[in-house]
Structure 1
Amino acid sequence: MEKPYDLEVRTFLFAKSARNLIYSLQKSIANIEDGKQLIRSSGSVAANYIESNEHISDKDFDFRIKICRKEAKESLLWLKLLQNEFNNQHSIKLVELINEADELKKIFSAIVEKRKSR
């Protein structure tokens, strides 16, 4: 599947896919708690990217992009914690989301690095 070039769309789809995964998981204490955290962090990636596009200063933009990177890293943690025998039937979707979180983290890291060198 081709990924959207527009990062607002891409981060929205990441947050939406994370939610769809959580809706489909079996209910357990770990899934509920890790799912809550994943919903927060994935949504924060999307929300902070939108805010970065509406930045009021370069400093504000840089701050928001760093939050996007941090939240993508956090999303990776929760997704990896959900990757276990209990959730085996969702392993393909988990791998897809882990890969997307990692790609988003790398994109935001590249933006941070590029802006440092200006």
Structure 2
Amino acid sequence: MWQKEVAVQYLNEHGGADSLGRCGEYVRKAIEAGGTQLNRHRRAKDYGASLLSSGFVEIANTVTRAGDVAIIQPIPGHPSGHMAMFNGTIWVSDFRQLHGYYPGPGYRQLRPPVKFYRRTH
């Protein structure tokens, strides 16, 4: 049973002030702490299919809710892309992202494709 509050709490407790380059691992562990197993991937950009197969659905970015997950495609210098979860206030990955779901200035400037996922049950 999916417990998004547990997933968000896990991420809030483990996300630091600065990126460690381990966003996919941290968000995956948070999702698993919330009761949903994911297939493991080397790159954050590849988690979309795992989210879909485990009960998440792709959503439009109109109203973001706690527990929503963003998968962002790569930019030059960042071949793994990015993965983050919304905690109800900010996006968190392996760090607390204070400027939205794009994790850094390069992402915010280039604005690569992003998909959003939500577990509804």
Give the TM-score normalised by structure 2: 0.27
Over alpha carbons, which structure has the higher Rg? 1
Structure 1 or 2: larger helix share?
Answer: 1
More strand by proportion, 1 or 2?
Answer: 2
